[in-house]
Amino acid sequence: MTELHDLTALEQARAIQDGETTSAELVEHYARRSDALDAVVGAFITRTDDLAMEAARRLDAAVAAGEEPVSPLAGTVVPAKDLVFVAGVRCTLGSVAYDITPFGDDHVVTRMREGGLVITGKTSTPEFGLPCYTEPAVAPSSRTPWDLSRSAGGSSGGAAAAVAAGLASAAHGSDGGGSIRIPASVTGLVGIKPTRGRISNGPLRDPVGELPHQGVLARTVADAAALLDVLAGPFRDDPFPTPPVERGTFLAAASREPGRLRIGRYATPVVAEAEVDPRVLEVWDDACRLLESLGHVVEDVPPPFGPDQVPSFEAVWSVLALLTPVLPEDEERLMPLTRWLRERGRSVTGIQLAGSVSSMRLLTRMVVNATAGYDVVVTPTLAALPSPVGGLRDDADPAGDFEAQKRFTPFTAPYNITGQPAVSVPLGWPDVDGVTLPVGVQLVGRHREEAVLLSLAAQLEQAAPWAHRRPEVWSHG
């Protein structure tokens, strides 16, 4: 029998509007599943069931009064990552050194409320969102529902675990070096990092280097596109706004053919000298052949740059770790990797930071110009299969931990540097010791051309469907 969590987010919203269910029933359903499964997959740091029920009942009253829905996802359950502020809700930033209750919403949360989304909690993140695994001291590790011995990735690992385990309709995420696309790949989801400025980082999260992006995780391309429609749009105080698009633009893009595209492809690691797992390469190669069978022109292209260009990113990343204020007496409570990155950040001089930011901007021009003739570039999302919990983390050797992360995810960070839109789609499902594991493929587009990526991703989804694939825990709870 079909249950509420079996429906896509768009189907749930339609069922609410048609009177087949209510938003309150959806909140209750997901609360029961979270009671049963959250401790297993590590999705939430803080749950807000009571606040969610209040919001759901207001939405149900609007439906009963015959009001038009404020978005195609009105009434669905979409939690926020614990790196953003939700008024009146505890925020930890994934750290035992933080426990604050903000008075106001971040801009992305304002958009969530305006779109009628119901926020059932704050999803888990590693400390300050720094590593590509989600194993914070403040909450249980986030695990991919496909193999509970393996990590859900990071830093939006809790968000991905929630959606992949059927604890939420879709989820908000953020991405400073791959933090949406990495979890999407290891949990079998669609993850979108949009163009820089497409979703507001305001009012507090526009740090030096402009690396962080707000974005979305969902089970289907259409759900992800609809959520992007809800969250997109500048605020008047945004320093890097992207011109607004008509509401519904991205969902419409996911419903139309992309036309014949020119696609570049590469699988040479960019951020580190890493070995790419043969099973990952096979998924990427199969995806390229599928693209050709759909009528697209696929050509080999060189990687945008090599590991020699990475020090600029690392300098900025270390300074970002230092930008989060911590009381002197709390420094020792931070995770070893966080302390190591903050100490590294202290060693970066003003001229080194300015030079690194300038280098990244020049690199952006070079990369964008080098691939200007291509509608899309396709790469593996990751270099390896989902990592075991604890497999990348090394508290005794934070420098080694950082290098292991670079080898695991050498394809995502370049597009935080350039600010281009990038999507991970689950196109591979290898069997490893009797367990099916998801493998993502990354699609990168030109600036402000998310619609092209979404049309192509939807075409791939139709040709190689994945929504029917569900982990074993899906039927539990």
Q: In this predicted model, what pLDDT tens digit does every residue of 254-263 receive, in sequence order? A: 999 999 999 9
The confidence score (pLDDT) of residue 401 equals: 98
Per DSSP bridges, beta strands 213-218 and 431-432 are unpaired
In this structure, of 132-136, 200-204, 255-259, 303-307, the range with the lowest mean pLDDT score is 303-307
What tokens does 247 get? 């509401």
Q: Is 122 a catalytic residue?
A: no
Q: What is the CATH number of the domain that holds 310?
A: 3.90.1300.10
71 prior amide bond cis, ω within 30? no
User: Catalytic: which of 23, 151, 179, 455?
Assistant: 179
Q: Is 155 a catalytic residue?
A: yes
Q: Is the dihedral of CA 140, 141, 147, 149 positive or negative?
A: negative
* Contact (CB, 8 A) for 383 and 404: no
* Contact (CB, 8 A) for 151 and 388: yes
Angstrom CA distances, 372 to 101, 251, 264, 375, 472, stand at 45, 25, 10, 8, 43
The confidence score (pLDDT) of residue 477 equals: 83
DSSP state of 91: B
**1: pLDDT strictly greater than 90:** no
Does residue 84 come out as left (phi exceeding 0), alpha (psi in the -120 to 50 range) or beta? beta
Distance of CA 45 to the CA centre of its chain: 17
* Contact (CB, 8 A) for 140 and 42: yes
Q: In this predicted model, what pLDDT tens digit does every residue of 73-113 receive, in sequence order? A: 999 999 999 999 999 999 999 999 999 999 999 999 999 99
Mean pLDDT of 108-125: 98
- Nearest CA to 203 out of 85, 92, 321, 323 is that of 85
Q: Is 406 a catalytic residue?
A: no
Partnered with residue 422 across adjacent β-strands are: 193, 444
In this structure, of 139-143, 269-273, 277-281, 422-426, the range with the lowest mean pLDDT score is 269-273
The confidence score (pLDDT) of residue 127 equals: 98
- Nearest CA to 434 out of 195, 220, 149, 230 is that of 149
- Nearest CA to 455 out of 262, 255, 294, 289 is that of 255
* Contact (CB, 8 A) for 172 and 83: no
Q: How far apart are CA 416 and CA 408, in angstroms?
A: 17
User: Catalytic: which of 23, 81, 169, 424?
Assistant: 81
**342: pLDDT strictly greater than 90:** yes
By three-state DSSP, how is residue 44 classified?
A: strand
The confidence score (pLDDT) of residue 201 equals: 98
Tally the domains of the chain: 1
**121: pLDDT strictly greater than 80:** yes
**158: pLDDT strictly greater than 90:** yes
* Contact (CB, 8 A) for 263 and 377: yes
* Contact (CB, 8 A) for 408 and 384: yes
Angle between helix axes 278-293 and 450-463 (nearest 10 degrees) is 100
Distance of CA 460 to the CA centre of its chain: 19
**57: pLDDT strictly greater than 90:** yes
Angstrom CA distances, 468 to 277, 287, 424, 474, stand at 26, 19, 18, 11
Proportion of the chain above pLDDT 90, given as a percent:
99
The confidence score (pLDDT) of residue 353 equals: 98
Which structural domain, as residue segments, surrounds residue 256?
Answer: 4-475
What tokens does 351 get? 């001229």
The average confidence (pLDDT) of the chain is 97
User: Catalytic: which of 155, 174, 312, 356?
Assistant: 155
Q: Is the dihedral of CA 129, 131, 134, 140 positive or negative?
A: negative
3-state secondary structure labels for all residues of 177-238: CCCCHHHHHHHCCEEEECCCCCECCCCCCCCCCCCCEEEEEECCHHHHHHHHHHHCECCCCC
- Nearest CA to 405 out of 467, 358, 348, 337 is that of 337
Q: Dump strand ranges (E) for 7-125.
A: 44-47, 80-81, 121-123
Supply the DSSP string of 117-175, one letter for each residue: -B--EEE---GGG-SSS---TTSPPPB-TT-TTBB--SSSHHHHHHHHTTSSS-EEEEE
Mean pLDDT of 56-69: 98
